[in-house]
Amino acid sequence: MQFMLLFSRQGKLRLQKWYVPLSDKEKKKITRELVQTVLARKPKMCSFLEWRDLKIVYKRYASLYFCCAIEDQDNELITLEIIHRYVELLDKYFGSVCELDIIFNFEKAYFILDEFLLGGEAQETSKKNVLKAIEQADLLQEVRHMKQRLPAASSRRSDLHKPLRDDRPKHTHTQPDH
């Protein structure tokens, strides 16, 4: 994986993890272009697109887009699973995670990501182990930051409160073999 971006439906960046060395300017340019491209996709289109010389895998969970750039030899379908696993981790940690959680606790979202992926590859395939490590590390913190519970009605946009669930209808059954 070369990079992972999380952004809202309005194109606001919520998380950016780069696994390749690029200047700030280049990162901004890529982010801008890619966000535009992905937001322009219609809901019925598939989760993969070719962009420059990379494969882009993206998935929308409620109001957040999770977008990964992978290389030619990487498996797109398993990348979708990687994205899903990350969402599950966030969900378990925050308890029914929604976009606001990630906005207010972005550093924690990074910590969790860094316990799951390293250098763009999965370092731990057990959900339990990732969460355990985060828990232990949190205990080491001298200054405990309580997980920020969300201000309820003060938020203007309600979809920020929506728990991150896979937004696409499930196509799980293949047609019978001919």
Partner 1 sequence: MPAPIRLRELIRTIRTARTQAEEREMIQKECAAIRSSFREEDNTYRCRNVAKLLYMHMLGYPAHFGQLECLKLIASQKFTDKRIGYLGAMLLLDERQDVHLLMTNCIKNDLNHSTQYVQGLSLCTLGCMGSSEMCRDLAGEVEKLLKTSNSYLRKKAALCAVHVIRKVPELMEMFLPATKNLLSEKNHGVLHTSVVLLTEMCERSPDMLSHFRKLVPQLVRILKNLIMSGYSPEHDVSGISDPFLQVRILRLLRILGKGDDDSSEAMNDILAQVATNTETSKNVGNAILYETVLTIMDIKSESGLRVLAINILGRFLLNNDKNIRYVALTSLLKTVQTDHNAVQRHRSTIVDCLKDLDVSIKRRAMELSFALVNGNNIRGMMKELLYFLDSCDPDFKADCASGIFLAAEKYAPSKRWHIDTVMRVLTTAGSYVRDDSVPNLIQLITNSVEMHAYTVQRLYKALLDDISQQPLVQVASWCIGEYGDLLVSGQCEEEEPIQVSEDEVLDVLEGLLVSNLSTPVTRAYSLTAIMKLSTRFSSVNRIKKVVSIYGSSIDVELQQRAVEYNALFKKYDHMRPALLERMPIMEKTATNGPTDIAQTNGETDSTILDTKHLPSITHPASQVGRCNYHICFCLAGIPPMTAYNKNGLKIEFTFERSNPSPNIAVITIHATNSTEADMTEFVFQAAVPKTFQLQLLSPSSNVVPALNQGSVTQVIRVLNPQKQQLRMRIKLTYTHKGSPVQDLAEVNNFPPQSWQ
Q: Would you tell me which residues interact with partner 1 (CB under 8 A)?
A: 13-16, 18-19, 21-24, 28, 42, 44-50, 73, 75-78, 80-82, 85, 103-104, 106-107, 110-111, 114-115, 118-119, 121-129, 133, 136-137, 140-143, 145, 148, 151, 171-175, 177-178
Identity of the residue numbered 114: D
Q: How far is the CB of 119 from partner 1 (least distance, A)?
A: 4
Nearer to partner 1, 76 or 163 (CB): 76
Distance CA(157)–CA(128), nearest Å, equals: 33
DSSP calls for 30-83: HHHHHHHHHHTS-TTS-SEEEETTEEEEEEEETTEEEEEEE-TTS-HHHHHHHH
CB 38 within 8 A of CB 147: no
CB of 161 to partner 1, least distance (A): 14
Residues paired with residue 117 on neighbouring β-strands, in sequence order: 122
Considering the complex, state which of residue 150 and residue 162 has its C-beta at the smaller distance from partner 1. Answer: 150
| For partner 1, the closer CB: 1 or 164 | 1
Shortest distance, position 130 Cβ to partner 1, whole Å: 9
Give 81: exposed, middle or buried? Use CB within 10 Å, 0-12, 13-18, 19+: exposed
**Shortest CB 54 distance to partner 1, Å:** 13
Q: Which two structure tokens, joined as six digits, stand for 24?
A: 């700030």
Look-up of token digits 């972005």:
106
CB of 22 to partner 1, least distance (A): 7
Nearer Cβ to partner 1, position 47 or 164? 47
Tokens 């272009």: give the residue: 33
Q: DSSP code of 119?
A: T
Tell me whether residue 15 or residue 39 sits nearer to partner 1 (CB atom): 15
